[in-house]
A and B are shown apart, each in its own frame.
Chain A
Amino acid sequence: MSSNSPQSNQKPDLDETINVTQAHGRVASETAATAREHRIADNGHEPISLWVIISCGLVLLIAGAVLGNAGPWFDYDALVKPKYVRGTPPGAPPEGPASKEALPAYIAKGQKIYSANCNGCHGADGRGGPTFPSLAGSGWVTGNTQKFSMVVLNGLKGPTSTGKDYGVMAAIGAGLKAEELAALMTFARNSFGNSTGDIVTIEMAQAAIDASKARETPGTSVTAEELTAKHNIMLPGAVLDPKTPVDPSKLTPVK
């Protein structure tokens, strides 16, 4: 190995007192690990073996199958079925919304219908105002149900139960389905301080709708005289115990 050590710049004050052999020995020692290293040779250029490509191809096939199972990707309509209902796993107890006692279930559903249709005039607290009649404590609301239902379904012209005339109420409830009418009436009869404690069933509400169609002048507002003369009765139908468990959305009794 050459003796002109480039390490001399590390020892600028090299003089006779330094044993050159020893100094060189130290250089050799300090670079021993680096000196015995191999240099990284040029990269090899072996061709890629067939079986490497085949193995990778197999995995590519598996991954492709996974992607294929991902369905139609961004096609929302194909992925989400209309009226999708989650399937029941085998052996699981039958699913469905938990049943609820009849009275709170009717009231909860009725409150939603009330908020959507009646709030504007009668107010969230049902007390009306200077130009709208109060439902709280109203004799017609808590009285005979057919009378009440005729007002909801057909609207009202002329004086109310208190005798005061508020003008005309439109036929707000004309399009309600039987269970909606039932829920709404049950709500009104058991809220705002009213507490009749009974339920206007779907059967009764259907009878009200039929009675409304059978009027002599269907489609016109009722008046206090007509109500007292023809509709001052309870709606016909079987009474429902307020504690019967019902389906909270359909309001039908469950077993």
Chain B
Amino acid sequence: MSTETANTNLQDAQLRAGIDRSLRHPVMFFLTSGAAWLAISMILGIISSAKMHAPGFMDGCSWLTYGRTQAAHLNTLIYGWGFQAAFGVIIWIMSRLSRQECKAAGIILTAGHVWNLGVSLGVLGILAGYGTGMPWMEFPSFAWPVLLISYLAIMIWSMVQFKVRPEGHVYISQWYLLAAMIWFPWVYLTANLLLHVFPGHPIMANGINAWFKSSLVFLFFTPVALSAAFYLTPKVTGRPIYSYSLARLGFWSLAIIMPWAGMQKLAGAPVPFFIPYLGAAATILFFIPAFTAVFNILRTASADMEIVNHSPSLRFTMVGVFGLLVMAVAAVFLNLPGSTLKLTQFSLSGYGFEILAIYAFFSFVMFGAIYFIVPRITRREWISRRLIKMHFYLSIYGIITVAIVAIFGGWMQGLGQEQFDQPWESAALRAYPYVWATTISWCFILMSNLFFFLHLTFMWLGLGRRSNHPTLLISAHGHSPHGDEGDIDNAGSISAH
């Protein structure tokens, strides 16, 4: 390597280190408070799931009735964890790819606190019984302007960074991020204006709500997670993305198809006949943007399976990408009008699909990104390989059970519901074993995320390992290019502070 290249590399590394440094407070705040909300959401999920098979469980407390805990469970999962993880990852990736230090860390951090305040008050509102009853929008109506304004205060700086980026190529991740940053306020403002400010016919309100849910998944969480996956995979493996034209096909098909999805939830409702069919067709077509991206990312990573196995970031990301593949196939098979759509419309299956999207796909990719980002901004390595492994295995077994059981159990429940000459109780009884399994697997996922939250908090407190070598998921008895724990020489560690 020539001296010039070495110098460029050093300057590059220092620029990257400077960017990471400038972002350390907001990003660590988003990730850690997001992880805390995730754990809270799991607890609420366990309570609400338990109530479906043990209705007497905590029935003395009106704050913890099913209608409130289930709503609080999903809203904390989405706005507490999902969005905050997305914020942390978006501002970091955008700064890195636009090669700009963050100059508004203080404003972002403040807006992040406002967002958290909005979510906290909203969740308290739901638990106190002031929820709106609109799925994923249950926060009392005071919350949405607060969330929207703090969202804009957080995201606008990434837009500015993109605008003033150095000349040159716009990377795939930036397409997805920029699109997601613009799509979310459009979707959120439209849904809230049409439901809270200018309410129309209640049947159409139901449809708008269904469209909002679908758009949040397909037009925000999906592009953010794909952006992170398209960033991490070549970054960790050191290989270029397999096919640029395939990525373009994936992006544009997502942008063109997915805004049409969602209203298939109105199947059978007195709305113009084509609306549910259009929604179903668009949701089925989610396969195209999803599958092309999955194929592209897996082909890039599969060239070096050893790295995928060893790197925590890549392992989580690949599981997330695989989750996207499952989600894409489920989108095809859950939305066939005339056969499956009516079975899944009012059953557990919808919940299963949502959890598949938010946890098995989005959250796993976010975990991957967090395992990559945190050592860089804290300048410490992850403390324990074992904690990462606990997080990985408990999460993966938990989420596979929740998603499969809820989708399959919902299908069985739907079959029960179709037998209209039987009492409703028989449909509920069919779901009984599956709900039990869901409760147990949420317990696994809760445990896994408590480990994750603990680990992340230690990192936030600066208790990470000081080392030049990353924490890899290599068995202590296996071979390691860096020795056991990858930390023999402790090079560079000093007690300067």
Contact = CB atoms under 8 A, between A and B. Distances in A.
Contacts of B156: none
A52 B249 CA distance: 12
Nearest to B375: A33
B11 to A, nearest CB: 7
Contacts of B281: 63-64, 66-67, 70
A60 B381 CA distance: 46
B413 to A, nearest CB: 19
Given A38-B235, A56-B292, A32 B492 contact: yes
Interface string B66-96: 0000000000000000000000000000000
A89 B280 CA distance: 25
Contact of B249 (A48, A79, A89, A91): A48
A142 B419 CA distance: 53
Nearest to B253: A56
Contacts of A91: 421
A71 B242 contact: no
Contacts of B496: 26
B141 to A, nearest CB: 34
B468 interface: yes
A2 B287 contact: no
B398 to A, nearest CB: 29
Given A26-B494, A29-B492, A52-B295, A41 B466 contact: no
Interface residues of B, number: 67
Contact of A56 (B20, B288, B299): B288
B277 A29 contact: no
A39 B337 contact: no
B259 interface: no
Contacts of B246: 46, 48, 52
A26 B379 CA distance: 11
A34 interface: yes
B190 to A, nearest CB: 23
B289 to A, nearest CB: 10
B10 A1 contact: yes
A59 B280 CA distance: 12
Contacts of B494: 22, 25-26, 29
A60 B231 CA distance: 29
A55 to B, nearest CB: 6
Contacts of B237: 38
Contacts of B287: 55-56, 59
B228 to A, nearest CB: 13
A73 interface: yes
A75 to B, nearest CB: 9
B252 to A, nearest CB: 13
A84 interface: no
B194 interface: no
B470 interface: yes
Contacts of B470: 33, 36
Contact of A45 (B245, B338, B467, B493): B245
B337 A48 contact: no
Contacts of A47: 243, 245
A79 B337 CA distance: 17
Given A2-B7, A22-B494, A62-B332, A31 B17 contact: yes
A47 B246 CA distance: 8
A48 B6 CA distance: 36
Interface in B271-300: 272-274, 277-278, 280-282, 284-285, 287-288, 291-292, 295, 299-300
A213 B346 CA distance: 60
A42 to B, nearest CB: 6
Nearest to B264: A66
Given A2-B10, A39-B12, A59-B332, A32 B468 contact: yes
Nearest to B11: A6
A69 B277 contact: yes
Contacts of A89: 420
A56 B273 contact: no
Contacts of B249: 48
A71 B291 contact: no
Nearest to A62: B284
A40 B234 contact: yes
Interface string B343-382: 0000000000000000000000000000000011001010
A6 B243 contact: no
B288 A6 contact: no
Contacts of A79: 273
B14 interface: yes
A152 B40 CA distance: 75
B354 to A, nearest CB: 21
B491 interface: yes
Interface string B465-497: 011101000000000000000000001111010
Contacts of A39: 12
B239 interface: yes
A73 B272 CA distance: 8
Nearest to B15: A34
Interface string B237-268: 11111111111010000000000000000000
Contacts of A44: 239-244, 300
A42 B16 contact: no
Contacts of A50: none
A63 B277 CA distance: 9
A43 B244 contact: yes
Contacts of B13: 31, 34-35, 37
Nearest to B374: A33
B292 A41 contact: no
Given A26-B496, A28-B491, 17 more contacts: A30-B379, A34-B13, A35-B10, A40-B234, A40-B235, A44-B244, A44-B300, A46-B246, A48-B245, A52-B291, A55-B287, A59-B285, A63-B281, A63-B282, A67-B277, A71-B277, A92-B421
Enumerate the 4 nearest inter-chain pairs by beta-carbon distance, A residue then B residue, closest first: A29-B492, A70-B277, A38-B238, A43-B244
